[in-house]
A and B are shown apart, each in its own frame.
Chain A
């Protein structure tokens, strides 16, 4: 695709429910990142994939959060037993491999936990 695509754009759920957020990166980009952005804050790193494997998941806040990228392209961020504090915009970004450079962000998935 032309850019990073994220679905859904908005998700409202109840506390305790399970949610999945999807990211479709730019074609050919092997690196994929998930960030979380709370209101008035900068994006906060969650996890980074190189290909199919999670190269760095040090930003995942706890074991309720999990992400996969089974075929090295589309990624899904999974949140179990959602809490009100999980409410935020979840941003996905992709980049080409090699020297660190520009991250191309999607428009984000706004998650609201009631």
Chain B
């Protein structure tokens, strides 16, 4: 059974800090891993997609890494801002656009 776990469940940091969100998955035979952001009551916004052959992807202040052998991915956010406050979800794709999601990390960046 494919399971995706995200740690921590919640995180509160002061503005300007660099932070790391963790995602682990039980089955290493993945196609892709995608990080999303979700604001309260809203849909999901795609942040980064890492294909199985890649080790990392970067977009602005965000960097996501993938280690298939250990079943882990991290999302690094540099110089956090209050606008980064949201829930961050990790999703692992095993086949045919079928994604397994973690429960998310709720991030609060304090001004």
Chains A and B belong together in one complex: no
What residues make up the interface of B, taking CB atoms closer than 8 Å to A?
Answer: none
